[in-house]
């Protein structure tokens, strides 16, 4: 498919973005969080943030008008005996309302004393704190603050448990409102990727892979967004032993591979797309390359068939790889959740450098209303090149009503430059 069109993605103005994210947050706090605390049998969750040393979860809990902890912020979530959730903040900033009720009077005591009074009044059976040896996003409570909490809440310290299971679900599960919008965000990222892999950006013999990376980063910045990670652009070239050549001028006959994502409305995307640079007189990529891409797409179909809610990441990995072997496809699989982070907490399906069982993270089941970057590659012999090459692909997908759906237009052929 030739892609000379100049794309102008429509981006919401800042005020509208904040209104959207606030609406999503209020919905998540009212609907998702109570169900997670019930699910994991936790009736109090305390999140502590320090200025310039934020707990990574806090950003997902703040309304738009709160941009940081400002010295010290303490959030307290409590599931009462009637299974209703209460939300408090110990901080003087009025912008936390109506998301959180303020539970501290600075004229009466400091924040730690206010927390102690609140906990003693509620007397919870369990207090979940943000520490974890497994999930980085769930390990945001600093050592010094853990010690301080243990001192301040000494009589309740025996009830401390890790909040990791709540955090994993909170970060990875999307509400119905978010699932309606996420495909639009994913498609926006794909459109920018398609524009980057076009003759509007790439001029064979002149443009380098680094030039394309610079163009993407500037394009996203100019649009008022940010990339979800530093993009990479690399090449596969006939006769070249290295399968991901970077920092080179793009030539006729090259495969250009892009790994890229955006962050927009608090959600991250991640995709890998491919283009072929036509030789003068060529109208299509060589048949061998097209055949290899078709094989990669077939493996993608296999993964889609195996990915089911309730199956563990390890079960999905082994199921997909067995089917690939049965069809004599040489493949690798290394998919991960998507959400607030590009590599979101949740069930892993293989790792690039660990093609087998993944302890703990791979033992987790895939859950409903979660999103994934379906990331993989296949290797195949290309007769026209007289060599084996890899085909790398990655597509954002979502479990919507327990069905796996592509969130952006799936790439089914090379973009042609």
DSSP 239-279: T-S-SSB-SSB--TTPEEEEEE-EEETTEE--EEEEEE-PP
Whether the predicted pLDDT of 252 surpasses 90: yes
Domains of the chain: 43-162 (no CATH), 174-416 (3.90.230.10)
Residue 377: the pLDDT is: 98
Do residues 191 and 226 lie in contact, with contact meaning Cβ atoms separated by under 8 Å? no
Mean residue pLDDT across the chain: 95
Residue 2's pLDDT is what?
46
Please give the DSSP secondary-structure letter assigned to residue 351: B
Is residue 80 predicted with pLDDT exceeding 50? yes
Residue 5: pLDDT over 90: no
pLDDT (tens digit, 9 = 90+) per residue, 354-399? 999 999 999 999 999 999 999 999 999 999 999 999 999 999 999 9
pLDDT for 4 = 44
Give the model's confidence band at 402: pLDDT under 50 very low, under 70 low, under 90 confident, else very high. Answer: confident
Q: Is the pLDDT of residue 62 over 90?
A: yes
Name the strand (E) or helix (H) holding 101: strand 101-102
Residue with more model confidence, 136 or 5? 136
Is the model's pLDDT at 285 over the cut of 90?
yes
Q: What is the DSSP letter of 97?
A: T
Distance of CA 146 to the CA centre of its chain: 28
State how far the Cα of 250 lies from the Cα of 269, in Å rounded to an integer.
Answer: 26
Q: Which of 253, 169, 233, 164 is nearest to 392 (CA)?
A: 233
pLDDT at 302 over 60: yes
- The per-residue pLDDT for 7 is 55
Mean pLDDT confidence for 299-311: 97
**Are the C-beta atoms of 299 and 321 separated by less than 8 Å?**
no
pTM of the model: 0.93
Task: Say yes or no to pLDDT of 267 above 60.
Answer: yes
User: What SS3 state is found at 375?
Assistant: strand
On whether the CB atoms of residues 137 and 345 are closer than 8 A, the answer is yes
pLDDT, tens digit, for every residue of 306-327?
999 999 999 999 999 999 999 9
Output the CA–CA distances (angstroms, integers) from residue 1 to 193, 366, 378, in the order listed: 14, 34, 22
Q: How far is CA 196 from CA 119, 183, 229, 256, in A?
A: 54, 20, 16, 10
Q: In what order do the strands lie in the sheet with 226-227?
A: 226-227, 262-264, 267-268
User: pLDDT category, 3, cuts 50, 70, 90?
Assistant: very low
Q: How far apart are CA 12 and CA 265, in angstroms?
A: 9
Q: Which comes out higher in pLDDT, residue 66 or 402?
A: 66
Work out the pLDDT band at 9, boundaries 50, 70, 90: low
Higher pLDDT, 128 or 69: 128
Q: How far apart are CA 93 and CA 101, in angstroms?
A: 11
Mean pLDDT computed over 39-56: 94
Whether 73 has a pLDDT exceeding 60, the answer reads yes
- Can you say how many angstroms the Cα of residue 264 is from the centroid of all Cα atoms in its chain? 11
Q: What pLDDT shows up at residue 310?
A: 96
Backbone angles phi, psi at 46, to 5 degrees: -115, 130
| Confidence at residue 241, expressed as pLDDT on a 0 to 100 scale | 82
Residues 79 and 66 sit within 8 Å (Cβ to Cβ): no
pLDDT above 50 (res 103): yes
Share of the chain above pLDDT 70, in %: 98
Q: What is the DSSP letter of 9?
A: -
Instruction: Please tell me the distance from the alpha carbon of residue 271 to that of residue 311, in angstroms, as a whole number.
Output: 24
């Amino acid at each position: 498919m030739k892609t000379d069109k100049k794309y102008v993605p429509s981006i919401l103005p800042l005020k509208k973005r904040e209104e959207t994210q606030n609406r999503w947050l209020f919905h998540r706090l009212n609907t998702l969080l109570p169900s997670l605390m019930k699910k994991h049998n936790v009736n109090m969750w305390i999140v502590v943030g320090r200025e310039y040393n934020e707990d990574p979860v806090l950003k997902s809990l703040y309304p738009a008008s709160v941009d940081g902890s400002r010295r010290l912020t303490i959030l307290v979530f409590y599931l009462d005996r009637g299974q209703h959730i209460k939300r408090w903040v110990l901080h003087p900033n009025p912008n936390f309302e109506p998301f959180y009720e303020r539970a501290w009077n600075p004229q009466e005591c400091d924040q730690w004393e206010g927390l102690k009074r609140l906990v003693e009044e509620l007397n919870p059976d369990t207090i979940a704190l943000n520490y974890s040896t497994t999930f980085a996003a769930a390990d945001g409570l600093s050592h010094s603050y853990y010690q301080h909490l243990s001192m301040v809440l000494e009589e309740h310290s025996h009830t401390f448990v890790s909040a990791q299971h709540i955090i994993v679900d909170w970060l990875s599960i999307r509400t119905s409102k978010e699932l309606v919008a996420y495909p639009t965000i994913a498609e926006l990222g794909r459109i920018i990727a398609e524009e980057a892999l076009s003759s509007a950006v790439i001029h064979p013999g002149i443009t380098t892979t680094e030039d394309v990376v610079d163009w993407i980063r500037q394009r996203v910045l100019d649009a008022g967004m940010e990339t979800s990670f530093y993009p990479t652009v690399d090449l596969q070239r006939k006769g070249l032993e290295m399968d991901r050549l970077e920092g080179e001028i793009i030539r006729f006959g090259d495969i250009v591979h892009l790994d890229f994502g955006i962050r927009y409305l608090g959600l991250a995307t991640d995709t890998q797309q491919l283009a072929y640079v036509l030789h003068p007189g060529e109208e299509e990529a060589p048949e061998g390359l097209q055949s290899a891409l078709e094989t990669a797409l077939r493996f993608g179909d296999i993964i889609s068939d195996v990915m089911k809610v309730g199956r563990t990441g390890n079960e999905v990995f082994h199921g997909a790889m067995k089917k690939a072997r049965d069809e004599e496809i040489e493949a690798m699989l290394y998919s991960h959740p998507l959400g607030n982070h590009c590599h979101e907490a949740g069930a892993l399906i293989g790792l690039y450098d660990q093609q087998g069982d993944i302890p703990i993270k791979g033992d987790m089941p895939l859950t409903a209303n979660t999103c994934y970057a379906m990331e993989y590659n296949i290797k195949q012999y290309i007769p026209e090149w007289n060599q084996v090459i890899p085909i790398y692909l990655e597509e954002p997908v979502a479990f919507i009503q327990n069905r796996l759906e592509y969130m952006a237009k799936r790439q089914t052929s090379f973009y042609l430059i």
